[in-house]
Amino acid sequence: MRRVPWLNLASLLSIAILVMTATATGNAAPFVASGPCTRDDVIRIFRQTLGRDPENEGAISGRVGLPCDQVKEEIETSPEAIFRRVIFADPTLRLGQRIFRFDTFGDEAFWGDVLQLHKAIIGSKNGGVGGGVSPKTALAVGLKVDVDALPDSLRDALAKGLVDLDDPSTTIALLKLNAVVGVTAFTNPDGSVRSMGIQCALCHSTVDNSFAPGIGHRLDGWPNRDLNVGAIVSLAPNLQAIADFLGTDLDTVKKVLAAWGPGKFDAELFLDGKGFRPDGKTAATLIPPAYGLAGVNLHTYTGWGSVPYWNAFVANLEMHGIGNFFDPRLDNAAKFPVAARHQLGHTKVALDRDQITSKLAALHFYQLALAAPKPKPGSFDAAAAERGRAVFIGKAGCAGCHISPLYTEPGWNMHTPAEVGIDSFQADRSPDGRYRTTPLGGLGTRATQQGGFFHDGRFATLLDVVNHYNSFQNLGLTDGEKRDLVEFLKSL
Ligand code: HEC
Ligand code: HEC
């Protein structure tokens, strides 16, 4: 039987890479398609479009001499190319979206079974403990409600004010509808809540508030800067489990969590156990966006690794999903005492229990497809932004590191704390001791979210950021140039 080429694994993998490249750059592969096609051109077009070589000599010779544009179009619109786009790209994106929004990776074993967080949410009347969390309280700690998950009847009732937003039972109903962004309840056959888990979307999605504050359509990739992770976690009846893991006491854990505040989380706490900086402020960082990452090499504020590296890290070590994870850098007991003690860099489960590894490809694919949002027209002064662009590239030297259109460096996008004029505390909590140049895509929309700028939000406004660079690098910017630069940043 003749082998059907698009069903072999190697070609599927190369298509994945191809489709990702196309999604990432927003246009076709960098092929100059003018003039009559040579044999090499035909082969290249096959590779770029279908991720494989032509199947036979006839497929090549029949095309040599035709205009390259025509050859390209022919191959791009071939049944094989269309088949691949339909069966592969689309389902993978949808799968990745489902994982990002709804997959707990088995982490309910931690958040529910161990910490018992669901019990505090449902309250004693519903089989849990304490007063429970009403929808009002849930919204107040920054949880978001996905309006598209609500049945029409409930939307109507909400609009008419007929839904009791002070009753934890309403929260349970919303959880069962999968309407609370990033949180899933697991139920018994009788409908009672037995556990709960969290998803990527908890921190990296928000809603557009189209229905009411905190209720709207999902905005995946946008950091939820209202979310008070520390306040939510500290509700857990069994915080002792975290204290034991960190090798500290309950009071310390509570103090650390209370210090985070809205929009922040500390991804390094489970590695080094540091709750506070030397200046006494929280060691937590702002939740960053998870959009605009395609083409960017290193991720996180301190450049821990690539997107799939970090996704595996987070799913295993932060969300406490069930999977395998390898990173011997975490064996460094001086830097990562907690991680080294618990051998976190050698997290192992039996392959048939692994609920993370098989999801990393689709999750990666989806994240690369999340483009940085553009700011609303009118939210910045376009003429000033244009002048600001010249300052950004010229006098202010920003484009030395923030290189467009990525607005980070292609390559090893890392800098010493001294190069950006800030302390080394957070950089020292990472393997390389450096800060990663933040990709600035979507900065305009971020400017309207709370939280400030730089990893810990130390600069409240973009003007503060500009003033910082201006003074420590002696840029000599005039007030007008600073204003223009800020307008340019708001346009990104
Ligand atoms: C509890 C909140 C929380 C959850 C849940 C969470 N993240 Fe994050 N994420 C963060 C924080 C905080 C950082 C910054 C960490 C740092 O720089 O040390 C981060 C960083 C990232 C980055 C790097 C972004 C950049 O600018 O380079 C990516 C990518 C990411 N997360 C993806 C995910 C994915 C995928 C999931 C689900 C598997 C997830 N996160 C779950 C809070 C969260
Ligand atoms: C030496 C390389 C370098 C140069 C030059 C540089 N930056 Fe940065 N930039 C960084 C790094 C690294 C960070 C991350 C700092 C952090 O998170 O603490 C950053 C962060 C930022 C942020 C914060 C983004 C966010 O979402 O928090 C803004 C805004 C910014 N830079 C603007 C500028 C402007 C404007 C200039 C020129 C005046 C400039 N940068 C020059 C490396 C650089």
Nearest atom in ligand 1 to 438's CA: 26
Report how far ligand 2's centroid is from the alpha carbon of 321 (Å): 33
Q: What string of DSSP letters covers 8-54?
A: SHHHHHHHHHHHHHHHHHSS--S----SBPPHHHHHHHHHHHHSS--
Q: What is the 3-state secondary structure (H, E, C) of 440-482?
A: CCCHHHHCCCCCCECCCCCECCHHHHHHHHHHHCCCCCCHHHH
Among protein residues, the one whose CA lies closest to atom 33 of ligand 2: 398
Assess contact for 193 and 127: CB atoms under 8 A: yes
**CB of 89 shorter than 6 A to ligand 2:** no
CA–CA separation, 152 vs 439, rounded Å?
40
**Residue that has been written with the tokens 């985070």 in this structure:** 260
pLDDT tens, residue by residue, 52-82: 788 888 889 999 999 999 999 999 998 888 8
Residue 196's beta-bridge partner residues? 185
Which bound ligand lies closest to the C-alpha atom of 472? 2
- pLDDT-above-70 percentage for the chain: 93
Could you tell me the two tokens for 370? Answer: 């999340």
Among protein residues, the one whose CA lies closest to atom 10 of ligand 2: 437
pLDDT tens, residue by residue, 104-124: 999 999 999 999 999 999 999
pLDDT tens, residue by residue, 406-464: 999 999 999 999 999 999 999 999 999 999 999 999 999 998 888 999 999 999 999 99
Report how far ligand 1's centroid is from the alpha carbon of 314 (Å): 7
CA–CA separation, 435 vs 237, rounded Å?
36
Torsion, Cα of 242, 244, 246, 252 (10° steps): 70
Is the pLDDT score of 478 beyond 60?
A: yes
Minimum mean pLDDT among 141-145, 197-201, 446-450: which range? 446-450
Instruction: List the beta strands (DSSP E) in 144-217.
Output: 145-146, 183-187, 193-198, 205-207, 215-216
Report how far ligand 1's centroid is from the alpha carbon of 104 (Å): 14
Give the pLDDT confidence score for residue 237 in this predicted structure: 95
Topology (CATH level 3) of domain 382-490:
Cytochrome Bc1 Complex; Chain D, domain 2 (1.10.760)
Give the pLDDT confidence score for residue 79 in this predicted structure: 82
Report how far ligand 1's centroid is from the alpha carbon of 287 (Å): 7
Tell which wins on pLDDT, 25 or 284. Answer: 284
Among protein residues, the one whose CA lies closest to atom 43 of ligand 1: 203
- pLDDT-above-90 percentage for the chain: 83
Which bound ligand lies closest to the C-alpha atom of 442? 2
pTM of the model: 0.85
pLDDT tens, residue by residue, 311-357: 999 999 999 999 999 999 999 999 999 999 999 999 999 999 999 99
pLDDT tens, residue by residue, 8-50: 434 433 434 333 433 333 333 334 446 899 998 998 898 888 8
**Side chain identity at residue 331, one-letter code:** D
pLDDT tens, residue by residue, 439-455: 999 999 998 888 999 99
pLDDT tens, residue by residue, 364-375: 999 999 999 989
Is the pLDDT score of 102 beyond 90?
A: yes
Give the pLDDT confidence score for residue 15 in this predicted structure: 38
**CB of 485 shorter than 6 A to ligand 1:** no
CA–CA separation, 455 vs 284, rounded Å?
9
Torsion, Cα of 18, 23, 28, 29 (10° steps): -40
Give the pLDDT confidence score for residue 476 in this predicted structure: 97
CA–CA separation, 159 vs 446, rounded Å?
29
Nearest atom in ligand 1 to 429's CA: 18
**CB of 455 shorter than 6 A to ligand 2:** yes
Nearest atom in ligand 2 to 392's CA: 37
Give the pLDDT confidence score for residue 10 in this predicted structure: 40
Q: In terms of C-beta density within 10 A (0-12 exposed, 13-18 middle, 19 or more buried), how is residue 444 classed?
A: buried
Among protein residues, the one whose CA lies closest to atom 36 of ligand 1: 200
**Domain coordinates of the chain in residue numbers?**
5-98, 108-240, 382-490
- pLDDT-based confidence at 169, cuts 50/70/90? very high
Torsion, Cα of 171, 172, 173, 174 (10° steps): 50
> CA 490, 412, 422: angle at the middle one, nearest 5?
60
Choose one of 107, 300, 428 to mutate for the ligand 1 pocket test, by most ligand atoms within 8 angstroms of C-beta. Answer: 300
- pLDDT-based confidence at 88, cuts 50/70/90? low
Is the pLDDT score of 293 beyond 80?
A: yes
Give the pLDDT confidence score for residue 34 in this predicted structure: 63
- pLDDT-based confidence at 228, cuts 50/70/90? very high
